[in-house]
Chains A and B, each alone.
Chain A
Amino acid sequence: MSVNEKFAAIRKGLLEFLLLQIIAADKVYVADILKQLSATEFATQEGTLYPLLSKMRREGLLDYEWKESGTGPPRKYYELTAKGREQLRETREYWSEINGTVKKLGQK
């Protein structure tokens, strides 16, 4: 089992965290998100993203608004809610704790 496979579950779990980060930076629509992720280890597809985004919206972490696009029908642009920003802050803290633990452990 390669490292890549071993970490599949962890990457999947981290996806929500990354979405919060991406959406916090700017109002985005799904194609933007996919593009930003595509160059990374977290490259994903619409089939995963749409259900995850709708779950996060249901949990009150983010919201969307319709915006006209130049070429086609209107698109959904996502943005974070206050709760989403709070969640992002907590997750960042937690993540840096984990990171610290990973670095610290086993070192003398």
Chain B
Amino acid sequence: MNKVITINLDGVAYQLEEGGYDALRAYLETAATRLQGNPDREEILSDIERAIGEKFRALLASYKTVVVTKEVTSVLAGMGPIEADPGKAADPGASGAGAPSSASGQGTAGEERTARPSGTPRRLYRIPEGAMIAGVCNGIAAYANFDPTIVRLAFVLLTLVGGAGLIVYLVMAVVVPEARSAEEKAAAAGFPATAQEFIRRAKAGYYEAMKGFPDRKARREWQYRFKREMRANADQWRYNWHSYWAEHWGAHPGMGFALPLLSVLQGAATVVWVCAMISLLATGAVFGLALPANVPVWVAALLLCLVYAILTGPLKLARRSCYWGLGRPRWTWSFVFLADAVVWLVVAVALLWLAVHFFPQLRDAVHSLPSLAHEAADDIAAWWKAK
């Protein structure tokens, strides 16, 4: 059973299997890119669409309403790749001998070939893979090409300073859609849908293009673009690394039962972190350990957040591996999740109890936040002026 997508080819609707839709879209995108700079681009594209539609129609009958993936790929193979410079022989030496007098291409080969796919348009999505809560920070990080930890820290800071971060987060969690399909995930970071697609393009494009350049300037320009695209892709891989690691590392059955233990550890770390934060904000010292004289309180708070993120990072990864280690849903899952839920409940209750127990201090801490923010702003301003 496959999902069916309805498309419009030159004004006629067709139903394709999802895989076929992806293939067709990739074909038309490549065609559009190759025809960049061609004055008849739109017309050729609609010719191509109409021709594909005609072939689809030949495959359909009253009892068969969907074009399956295999049929789409065979139709596309029959169409052949779009040639950007028609009538121009591949080998420049041979073209003079064999081509009729008018067979001169428009524009140089360099121009045609530097027109690389410009990547998927970027959109803001929530990304559930590797998310802490709803994937809002993850999505922003992918959108802005930033480290998610820094975005999270920014949100935590905004929450500590007057609670704006929390409100913004909640609103975004509701408003921003979640990236579900592979395409949406690609759009979230503005990259081509799959790594394979990129590798294919790189292999096909790089060496071929390197041969065809008329002069050094064009070659250098192309090299620059290629490297930039490579870098962009490396960023995506770095970003995917977390989920990749969790999927492929140490994911064997039975590990799922380590989950509650890991939860205890992470819960303990969270409790310690919150206590340290409270004691820092309330007394200006971490568990009675006075700060060095020249370290302001807000720097210490930032450092605490950082240390917490660094310490709990591996724990989170391990927990993730455990989830994967559970394999397919089975009855054993419910016990693991129950134990996990109990652990988290205990942690939450402990935090609540702490908040109530240390209520005066907590209140003091909250009251000290605005002045803390002013202090931070002043310090930054002073540092800026000094520079």
Contact = CB atoms under 8 A, between A and B. Distances in A.
Partners in one complex: yes
Interface of A: 8-17, 30-31, 44-48, 50-52, 54-59, 61, 71-73, 76, 87, 90-91, 94
Contacts of A52: 83, 86-87
Given A10-B89, A50-B48, A16 B103 contact: yes
Interface of B: 10-12, 31, 35, 38-40, 43-44, 47-48, 50-51, 53-54, 57, 78-84, 86-91, 94-95, 97-103, 106
B82 to A, nearest CB: 5
9 contacts: A8-B90, A9-B91, A10-B89, A12-B87, A16-B99, A51-B35, A51-B44, A51-B86, A72-B57
A52 to B, nearest CB: 3
A14 B95 CA distance: 10
A90 B12 CA distance: 42
Given A50-B51, A58-B39, A73-B50, 6 more contacts: A10-B89, A13-B87, A13-B88, A30-B47, A52-B87, A76-B47
A50 B91 contact: no
Contacts of B53: 73
Contacts of A46: 47-48, 51, 78-80
B87 to A, nearest CB: 5
A73 B89 contact: no
Contact of B87 (A30, A55, A76, A91): A55
A15 B102 contact: no
A12 B35 CA distance: 19
